Amino acid sequence: MKSFGVEIPFVTHLGFTLHRMEGGESELHYEAKPEHFNSFDVTHGGASMTLLDVAMATAARSETPDMGVVTIEMKTSFMQPAKGPLVAKGRLIHRTATLAFTEGSVYDAAGRICSHATGTFKYVKRLPVDGRNINQLKSVSTD
| Segment 27-67, tens digit of pLDDT | 999 999 999 999 999 999 999 999 999 999 999 999 898 89
Please indicate, yes or no, whether the overall pTM of this predicted structure exceeds 0.85: yes
- What pLDDT, on a 0 to 100 scale, did the predictor assign at position 136? 52
Residues 6+ apart with CB under 8 A from 12: none
As assigned by CATH, the class of the 9-141 domain is alpha beta
Residues 6+ apart with CB under 8 A from 117: 49, 52, 53, 56, 74, 75, 76, 77, 103, 104, 105
Residues of the chain with pLDDT below 50 are 141-143
- What pLDDT, on a 0 to 100 scale, did the predictor assign at position 4? 81
Q: Domain limits of the chain?
A: 9-141
Backbone angles phi, psi at 135, to 5 degrees: -65, -35
- What pLDDT, on a 0 to 100 scale, did the predictor assign at position 142? 44
